Amino acid sequence: AAGVIQSPRHLIKEKRETATLKCYPIPRHDTVYWYQQGPGQDPQFLISFYEKMQSDKGSIPDRFSAQQFSDYHSELNMSSLELGDSALYFCASSPAGTVTNYGYTFGSGTRLTVV
């Protein structure tokens, strides 16, 4: 069965560069959530989209932006990267908004290293 696909799996960038992370949800899942997990830290919610509109916003820095496209995939754009942005970024998808009787399906994540 198709899962949530994230690309790239690993990314190394220098300080002040930009990065774009992609998330492809499970087919027919219209909601995407982005999380950031620093080394040894718990996941922190960044932002979510439902039907291509931002549905909720968490601790996402102003340097980051995200959008959901017509095919429901989502991209997280990160600019002016800082060393502290090094983390595992993963997305999750779910059907029909956030109220669901099913668990969320998480991607394997993109490991971003800023040097």
Partner 1 sequence: SQQGEEDPQALSIQEGENATMNCSYKTSINNLQWYRQNSGRGLVHLILIRSNEREKHSGRLRVTLDTSKKSSSLLITASRAADTASYFCLILSNRDDKIIFGKGTRLHILP
Provide the minimum distance between the beta carbon of 49 and partner 1 in the complex, in angstroms, as a whole number: 13
Q: Which residues bind partner 1 (CB under 8 A)?
A: 33, 35, 42-45, 48, 56, 88, 90, 92, 97-109, 111
Calpha distance 89→112 (Å, rounded): 7
Strand order in the sheet with 5-7: 5-7, 19-24, 74-78, 64-68
**CB of residue 47 vs partner 1: minimum separation in angstroms?**
12
User: Smaller CB distance to partner 1: residue 18 or 108?
Assistant: 108
CB of 43 to partner 1, least distance (A): 5
- Indicate the pairing of strand 31-37 with strand 44-50: antiparallel
